[in-house]
Amino acid sequence: MTLMVLTALNAPAAEPEPSFAAGQKYYMNAEFRKSAAQFEAVCQIGHDPEACYRAGISYERLADIATPFGCRLNAKARGYLREAATMAPAQPFYRQALFDHLLDSSDCSRGALLEAVKILSAMPESDPDYPDMLRHLQTEKRLNASGDARVGRMFLLLPRAIHRAATVRPAPKIASTRDRD
């Protein structure tokens, strides 16, 4: 009997089940990494477009904090926002969130602007969101085409290149057949 009690006391505590409410609480407390983890799990378990959307915006906030090194986090955000828009195509809010994210993070991905163009071209011009989305796309294209934007991207690439160079690890040494003899 004593052995059973000691074993139960030494057993690791079970991980709480991921929940939408926990994700919201973490998000409201600006704990975006925990928020993203909760929403990501709920999205994958329940195929819930709202949880996918919230995982996407949590990763988007993490990317904002990590600027100029937030491109990987922006890619995760884009994936979850795309998933939400795909799961609920009748909800224009998710499409709009993905579109805005693509334009706002276009400096991280060459394909982001093209994907935004595809979203807009798939929409009917009679859609009430179409004029605003078109205006936003044209503004972003103009900003990305300016000389200042090109110079700015060049300066952003320098810290990224330094960061990548600092985190590169040497390849492991592989023993050849000569070394074994």
* 58-82 as b/e: b if 16+ CB within 10 A: bbbbbbeeeeeebbebbebbbebbb
pTM of the model: 0.70
pLDDT tens-digit profile of 117-164? 999 999 999 999 999 999 999 988 887 776 555 555 555 545 554 544
Distances (CA, A) of 103 to 78, 109, 111, 151: 11, 10, 10, 19
Domain residue extents for the chain: 17-165
pLDDT tens-digit profile of 62-100? 998 887 788 899 999 999 999 999 999 989 999 999 999
Chain mean pLDDT for the chain: 79
CATH code reported for the domain at 17-165: 1.25.40.10
Is the CB of residue 82 less than 8 Å from the CB of residue 109?
no
| CA atoms of 168 and 181, how far apart (whole Å) | 32
| CA atoms of 133 and 174, how far apart (whole Å) | 53
Identity of the residue numbered 103: L
| CA atoms of 166 and 74, how far apart (whole Å) | 21
pLDDT (mean) for 32-47:
92
92: its two tokens: 């224009």
Confidence of residue 3 (pLDDT cuts 50, 70, 90): very low
